[in-house]
Each structure stands twice: as C-alpha cells, then as structure tokens.
Structure 1
Amino acid sequence: MTEQPRLVYDDDCGFCTWCADWAVRNGDFEPVGFSELTPDEQHRLPDEYEDCVHLIADETVYSCGKATEEVLLRMGKLPTEPFTFLNGFADYERLREDAYRFVADHRDQLGKIVSADAPVRR
C-alpha cells in the first residue's frame, strides 16, 4: 500500500496556505507546512526547499512547477494526455517553471484576491 502523497508548502504564506487547502479539499493529499517538516523530510527535499511547493509521493519528490502540475493531475483537474505530450519537449519544463516562478513572485498580490483565513484541513 502506498502512503498518501504529502503536499509540502509554505505555511507562513497566506496564498500558499489557501492553495494547499484547496488541493486538500479537492484531492487526496496530506498537507505539511514547512514548519512541520521532520528532519528526514527536509533531507529528502532540495537544499533550497523553501523556494517552492513540493509533493512527496512514494519515493518521488516533485518540486515547484512540476509539483503543481502533479497535484493538479492527481486531482483530475487536468487531462493527462496534453502534459504527457508537452513533457516530450525540452522547452516545456522551462516554460512550466517560469510560469510557476511568476505566480510565486506575485503571491502577495494573489493572496489579496483569495481568502486565506481558513486553516488547511487535515
């Protein structure tokens, strides 16, 4: 039996918390804020893990844009076929990560749009 995927996010960020809550409500994920990480979990993540979101699923760690894509695919919010196709192109990874970084760099403004008052559900 596989464990529930762990969604690792910045629990100090209102927008990040809102996104994690939305993912938990719409998918099968265990939310883990940066402040709750165990030393073993921190060791599994990239050195600069606080720069973006991560998904720990079985033995695989997805980070940043790839983690976001994987969460959306696992929730059934995106069809898998286009992403299977796009992942065959070298430029897709750069575009995906650039899009992720754009959103991450503007999370303060985006946080004003969404309600970040609700805690992440467990």
Structure 2
Amino acid sequence: MSVPRLVYDDDCGFCTFCVSHALELGEFEAVGFSDLDADLRARLPADYEDCMHLVTDTAVYSCGEAVEQVAKRTGAAGWWLTVAAKGLPKYPSAREKLYRWAADRRGVWGTFARRDRLPE
C-alpha cells in the first residue's frame, strides 16, 4: 500500500501548520492544492478546495472525515472519542459542522499557530 496523501490548501498558514503536525505524528505525503496533478485531482470532489482530503489507494476522505482519519492513523490525542461518538445519532453531520466552523475561522487560528513550513 502506498503512503496516504494529505491534500490541503498550501496558501493557508493554519492548514500548513496542521499538515506539518500530522507529518510529525504519522506517515503521509503532503500535497498542496497548487501541486495537484491531473490524476489526483480527478479523485477529489469537484469542490475540493473547500477542505482538506486524505487520499488512500482505495478511498478519499474529505473535510471532517479526513481529520478523523488522520487522527486515527496518528493516534493523536482524543482520536478514540470519534470511535465512541460514531454510535451517536447525527454524528457525521455534527463532525462536518464542527469542521466547517473551524475551517471558516482558519485565519483566526492561524494567528495562534506557528507559521511552520512543511518538513523537507
């Protein structure tokens, strides 16, 4: 199996910070929107620029589900909460609303995050 690819907005400082942190915790290939090739772009949803994506050999996870998958694959603190929450009514909808709330404020979060570049 090839390394999962994290596809993200490489013009966003907060997005870059988050992906950099994911790369420290797990094995992923980071691919910014500006570096997408035609094959990878074809696997993404039409509105791919609305959120991040985790692309594996067999699936594409987008937005909140992508964050959930990254947390699960890295063992990030609290990932087990998503396992417990999956049994709750309306969990997928709540997960996506939380993702959108955070994503719509990424300029604010970026002021708190270090403006790190991705590891070379």
Q: TM-score, normalised by structure 2?
A: 0.93
Q: Within 5 Å, which residues of 2 pair with 1:28-107?
A: 28-77=27-76, 78-80=78-80, 82-107=81-106
Aligned to 2:118: 120
SS at structure 1 position matched to 2:90: helix
Residue 99 of structure 1: CA displacement?
0.4
Using the alignment, how far apart are the partners of 1:22 and 1:121 within structure 2? Answer: 10
Q: C-alpha offsets along residues 14-54 of structure 1, whole Å, 9 cap, x if unaligned?
A: 00001010100111111000001111100100000000000
Q: Do the aligned partners of residues 58 and 65 (structure 1) sit closer, same or farther apart at CA in structure 2, a change above 3 Å counting?
A: same
Q: Do the aligned partners of residues 112 and 46 (structure 1) sit closer, same or farther apart at CA in structure 2, a change above 3 Å counting?
A: same
Moved over 3 A (4+): none
User: 2:68–2:79: 8 Å Cα contact kept in structure 1?
Assistant: no
Measured on the aligned residues, the alpha-carbon RMSD in Å equals 1.3
SS at structure 1 position matched to 2:11: coil
Q: Do the aligned partners of residues 120 and 41 (structure 1) sit closer, same or farther apart at CA in structure 2, a change above 3 Å counting?
A: same
- Give the gaps of 5 or more residues in structure 1: none
Using the alignment, how far apart are the partners of 2:36 and 2:79 within structure 1? Answer: 31
Residue 119 of structure 1: CA displacement?
1.3
Using the alignment, how far apart are the partners of 1:63 and 1:89 within structure 2? Answer: 20
Q: C-alpha offsets along residues 66-92 of structure 1, whole Å, 9 cap, x if unaligned?
A: 000100110011444x43343234400
Q: TM-score, normalised by structure 1?
A: 0.91
Aligned residue pair count: 119
Using the alignment, how far apart are the partners of 1:114 and 1:21 within structure 2? Answer: 11
SS at structure 2 position matched to 1:7: strand
Using the alignment, how far apart are the partners of 2:57 and 2:99 within structure 1? Answer: 23
Aligned to 1:13: 12
